[in-house]
Structure 1
Amino acid sequence: LGEHIDYCGYSVLPMAVEQDMLIAVGPVKTQTLQLANTDPLYPDFSTTANNICIDKTQPLWHNYFLCGFKGIQEHFGLTQLPGMNCLVDGNIPPSSGLSSSSALVCCAGLVTLTVLGMRLSKVELAEICAKSERYIGTEGGGMDQSISFLAEEGTAKLIEFSPLRATDVKLPSGAVFVIANSCVEMNKAATSHFNVRVMECRLAAKVLAKHKGLQWDKVLRLEEVQSELGISLEEMLLVTEDALHAEPYSREEICKCLGISLEELRTQILSPNTQGELTFKLYQRAKHVYSEAARVLQFKQVCEAAPDNAVQLLGELMNQSHRSCRDMYECSCPELDQLVDICRKFGAKGSRLTGAGWGGCTVSLVPADTLSSFLASVHEAYYQGNMSRLAREKHSLFATKPGGGALVFLEA
């Protein structure tokens, strides 16, 4: 739980799936970085190991590797790196909201660190990879990279930021999580959807801060407004109701609220691929973020208290999360909504989109004793009869337990 709130400064509650990304690597004496992929859909790529250039206009597969590589290079201030031959393999469905891109960035960072014979803590690696994935052009937070490194088998994690830390959250027995892929692919770096939401949250934070008499120009995240005011998330929802209106804000209205010019808005606040946006929904985005942050804490509390109806309570929080993603954050799509409805109809206690949205997967909480019938029913209702979905179902519908984080296997 915790969709689209990490980049707003709030804690999230993810678990790692059992699927993974693997890179076999061998250092070479030349300064050439040679990348190959076991999947023929992803062509080979070669470049010099120094002066890495990442093209933000084309989120090609190898650019995610280059993000992790460049992150380690810049962290240590290295100018001359050895070359590597790398073979990439993985069974995470791409563009499905299961963080295949972040897994590749993290794997590349770990591979580079290992070849260089250097050491960093898992927390340091997570922070470097979260920062370096932004080279691709998405203004994301750090949830995906953090769980990629800090995950432990058998437990979910509460991930907190500034400073980054992780706490075990034991999930209730008697239920399993099921991933179902809508088969609508969404690469968040290929559109402006994701960055527009980041910018709307940033603008909402600034307008809320100005409304409450805070130093708004220093504020970047919605969590900072709450911290400055020293009030609860529930109270922040009331502040949002009072300070923001539901109608979209024009650029001119935002400038009037903040007392700045259009040029200042464009050059000092908006990111390059959001400068063409004419309107911004501030109220809806802030409402989602503050309510979702509260749901994360409630989810953890339920897991810790472990009442008899824990699965039911957790399922309802997941359902609330999806409604908020759909209605307030507008990051769902018709196929995801259909799939969520199907999953609930056939016994899921809770179901929601996972990942950035606009396509990709749902995650559902399903009683363990009904798993077989649930999988069969969802297969028939969503995949059967649709040839394109059916062809991809092998990697599209599966139960998963909390998996472990990144590992290095050294050749004996």
Structure 2
Amino acid sequence: MVAPADLPLVTVDALDKVYPADRVTNQGVRWNSLVESFKSHYGYKPAFIVRAPGRVNLIGEHIDHALFGVVPMAIVPDVIIAIGPRADTHEIRAQNVDPKYPPTAFTPSYSGGPAVDIEIRHLQWHSYVKAALLGYLKHPHSGGQSAGLDMLYDGTVPAGSGLSSSAAMVISTLLALLAANARLEGISKGDLVKMSMGAEGNVGVNTGGMDQAASVISTPAAALYVQFFPQLAGDPVPIPATDPAISFVIANTLVTSDKATTAKYNYNLRVVETLAGAALLAKRLGLAYTPADKVSYRQIVSEVAGGEHSLTGESVDNTDPTAGLRAAFKKTLQAIEHHLGNDSVRDGLSEDDLIDALDMSKQSFADTYLSLAVEPLGGKYRLYSRAKHILEEALRVLEFRRAIETGADGNMQNLPKLLGQIMGQSQDSCRDQFMCSCKEIDEITSIASEEGALGSRLTGAGWGGSTVSLVPAHIVPRFIENVSKRYSKYQGLGKDELEQAIFATLPASGACVHPLD
């Protein structure tokens, strides 16, 4: 059986293969409008429409860059692009149906290797277009060249919402480039995930891969268990029928979570704290890693367990395939408590103290960890609390997946409550240990719990963006109405704005290409 990440990219010929049945009519109007707008802008009919959805992460926050598995799902909101290849030029022209995003046109340089000018300090929407182009040109499959092309974008994933609008932008643009250059053959879903991870790094974001995997590999009616070690894989986790039936409600805080501009003291700092913490733990456990190896906590788990064969190899007990992993996670948590939870590390280390603890020079520390700018909070790198969140969250992911796959050990009536409890524990840890929540997220999750949500948590990078709540399906309309009335930043919004800010969703399909006749 072919693993989902090894499957070829998806090409579709009808929208009922892309969207749920109740969304096809409205999406058909939207896609037809995009084609007509493309013809109006560029004077000819596009050859393809490509699509990449946003995603909501159900459980597993900020652990993908430590190589632990996560459980996201694709959602209906997406980025679609109408594209027309041009053989007469290398120029890229990009426009957006939303007039607040100005058009752009640029030509990559091919002298001395492909180059695209990206101003990282002042990102605009088309910075992600350029980032994708550069990622494409650097990939061997491109041959280092691209035809010119015209593109018209239409996005329904709110920017900065924590629903991976940036990943959807980059992935859809990469699909556009692959389609325009007749390079779709020979690229798997996993290849596109890795290509898009590298491309998003071109705008200064050190991404772990969850967003890209969810957008590319997802299938309808299922969440996705994405693992990154020992290799990238994505396994469907079908959402079962429960009693009561459940739905996931996404609520945008309307606080922009802009990873690129706040990364130095939020996202990128957490990546550095994670890598440095793993290096220090490995050193104190006597493992044969140096900081330059950038060992991950997931690799340390494998070492603690005595080898990966006991965790994911053929010897794993198929009746409870994650039992070994859960035990190894708990053992690693004990090691974190012993080696990083002591007085000298628990409350944070200054940069000089961290350099000394790792036996590094200032230059080697900078070379290893500071390729992207970071600004430690209060001058302290907080290794212990970040490590504790990561291992506990990784354990919650396995418990969440196991609960779904076993039907809460056969007690389906208890499944919604159990999943909600795990989501609530995740939010507590994101707020208190990883410190990626904010007052608006705390406000919405509190209101959600009071209005009947079984569990509510931030989703995405945090520091704003969106929340996801597990809600009994029969109370969803009332739940949305009451949260809309009570959340402070929803006051004064019109009906259309509210419908974009808070909505119910179920798992949706992943990225695809739609050739036009």
Instruction: Tell me, yes or no, if the aligned pair for 1:98 and 1:354 is still in contact at 8 Å.
Output: yes
1:157 and 2:224 matched? yes
Instruction: Tell me, yes or no, if the aligned pair for 2:281 and 2:340 is still in contact at 8 Å.
Output: yes
SS at match of 2:365: helix
SS at match of 2:363: helix
Quote the sequence identity (%).
Answer: 36
**Residue 275 of structure 1, CA deviation:** 6.7
Instruction: Give the TM-score taking structure 2 as reference length.
Output: 0.77
From the superposition, tell whether residues 389 and 235 of structure 1 become closer, same or farther in structure 2 (CA, over 3 Å).
farther
Instruction: Tell me, yes or no, if the aligned pair for 1:169 and 1:300 is still in contact at 8 Å.
Output: yes
Greater shift, 279-288 or 73-82, is seen at: 73-82
From the superposition, tell whether residues 250 and 320 of structure 1 become closer, same or farther in structure 2 (CA, over 3 Å).
same
Instruction: Tell me, yes or no, if the aligned pair for 1:346 and 1:374 is still in contact at 8 Å.
Output: yes
Give the whole-Å Cα distance in 1 for the aligned partners of 2:217 and 2:182: 21
1:240 and 2:308 matched? no
1:114 and 2:176 matched? no
| 2:302 equivalent among 213, 227, 230 | 227
Gaps of 5+ in 1: none
From the superposition, tell whether residues 39 and 236 of structure 1 become closer, same or farther in structure 2 (CA, over 3 Å).
same
**Residue 272 of structure 1, CA deviation:** 3.4
SS at match of 2:85: strand
- Count residues in correspondence: 412
Query: Which digits, 9 at most, give the CA deviation of each residue in 1:209-233, with x for residues without a partner?
Result: 0110112312432212111222611
Give the aligned partner of residue 61 of structure 2: 3
Give the aligned partner of residue 282 of structure 1: 383
**Counterpart of 2:76 in structure 1: which amino acid?**
E
State how 1:1-400 maps to structure 2 within 5 Å. Answer: 1-28=59-86, 29-50=88-109, 51-76=115-140, 78-118=143-183, 119=185, 120-162=187-229, 163-173=231-241, 174-191=245-262, 192=264, 193-217=266-290, 218-230=293-305, 232-245=328-341, 246-274=346-374, 278-306=379-407, 307-308=411-412, 309-382=414-487, 386-387=491-492, 392-400=497-505
Give the whole-Å Cα distance in 2 for the aligned partners of 1:400 and 1:181: 13
Instruction: Tell me, yes or no, if the aligned pair for 1:6 and 1:12 is still in contact at 8 Å.
Output: yes
Instruction: Tell me, yes or no, if the aligned pair for 1:66 and 1:108 is still in contact at 8 Å.
Output: no
**Residue 105 of structure 1, CA deviation:** 0.4
**Counterpart of 2:431 in structure 1: which amino acid?**
R
Give the whole-Å Cα distance in 2 for the aligned partners of 1:26 and 1:219: 42
Instruction: Tell me, yes or no, if the aligned pair for 1:250 and 1:279 is still in contact at 8 Å.
Output: yes
Gaps of 5+ in 2: 1-58, 110-114, 306-326
Query: Which digits, 9 at most, give the CA deviation of each residue in 1:284-308, with x for residues without a partner?
Result: 1000100111111111100011132
Instruction: Give the TM-score taking structure 1 as reference length.
Output: 0.96
State the superposition RMSD in angstroms.
1.7
**Residue 389 of structure 1, CA deviation:** 8.8
Give the whole-Å Cα distance in 2 for the aligned partners of 1:88 and 1:385: 27
Give the whole-Å Cα distance in 2 for the aligned partners of 1:372 and 1:268: 50
**Counterpart of 1:52 in structure 2: which amino acid?**
V
**Residue 324 of structure 1, CA deviation:** 0.5
**Residue 384 of structure 1, CA deviation:** 7.8
**Residue 388 of structure 1, CA deviation:** 6.0
SS at match of 1:139: coil
**Residue 78 of structure 1, CA deviation:** 2.9
